[in-house]
Structure 1
Amino acid sequence: MRRLAVFLASSDGHDPAHAELAAHVGGDLARRGIGLVYGGGSTGLMGILADSAMKAGGEVIGVMPRGMIEREWAREEVTELVICDSMHERKAVMADRADAFVALPGGLGTLEEIFEVWSWRQLGLHAKPVGFLDAGGFWTPLIGALHSLTDAGFLAASTLEDLAVAPDLPGLLEALEERLRRAPRPAHGA
């Protein structure tokens, strides 16, 4: 895995453990030689993640729509800042630049982004693995709700089993790598 797209909050949240997690993930990815692709923000968990990766000498690619840059929300001190025209384009660029996707603590935007790339994988539009870093059990209630969808017949058990979930970064990276090794590539090369 050369690059990992990370979706997470542009705010700090209430629990300082989330900021510590973002800092740990950014630094650890850099030390492992895994490039970071993220939403390009300078605030909240996004900013902490990018700062930590940059301080550890990592590659950091931020992707942000022009309108958000005009509001001065971008962290410009990154390896590369990709400016796009819309949120839709932002997600497409992030998906193109990454080999896998992970959700850290966040809200609606984080959920929307991770669910979109997960549904793309399920539809065969790409073969890149998707996961949730469930540190401190943050995503446990959501994973429980997803099991309810499977029980109700709205989410295939195989789709849910394909989702990588781990309480720590090493375990999650291992699960993502395992899915990369076994995943057939779509015919269109996405």
Structure 2
Amino acid sequence: MSSYRIAIFASGEGSNFQALVDAAQAGNLGGAQVELLVCDKPAAPVVRRAEKAGIPCHLFIPKEYSSREEYEAEIVNRLEELDVQLIVLAGYMRLLTPVIVDKYAGRLINVHPSLLPAFPGTNAIGQALEYGVKISGVTVHYVDGGMDTGPIIAQRAIVVGTSETEATFAKSVHSVERELYPYVVSLFAQGKVKLEDRLVTIAE
């Protein structure tokens, strides 16, 4: 039986990328395999992680293209060549256009460091601490045309300690991300996630 093929989009350190790769290599990703890294920063540490793991990279420099749509069309061609079934955003720092969002609707997911719909957008951890919440967490959600507005697939709550700093809480959040994201991808690979009219159901 052929594997379930995923592509990971990332721009930075790549800790979630590494968690997914490690899970796949350990057989803990529901049969999914990482087929491609897409990265808009060729010098990013995540590229070295991919090279070490033997995973092909699609690297590009956005300013060399006339539009986002142009480089996304190129990405879509590469995804189709590899028959990628799921796109997994893992610290990808660029907004996607309908070229990818519409093409991969229902097969495009993201991880966000808050309990959405609270604190969407950038610096969610800092936003949560500034607001003074007692509980925050991690959300895995579908990507649609908005900013962190897609249907929620899974969430995990984290208690905010009384002496928490942004740095210490970020460690807790990222640790949960590295557990929750591979689990959700494994559900996709096993065909256990369904989306109907923005309602997400997960089979046991």
Q: TM-score with structure 1 length normalisation?
A: 0.49
* Structure ranking higher in helix proportion: 1
Q: TM-score with structure 2 length normalisation?
A: 0.47
Structure with greater Cα Rg = 2
* Structure ranking higher in strand proportion: 2
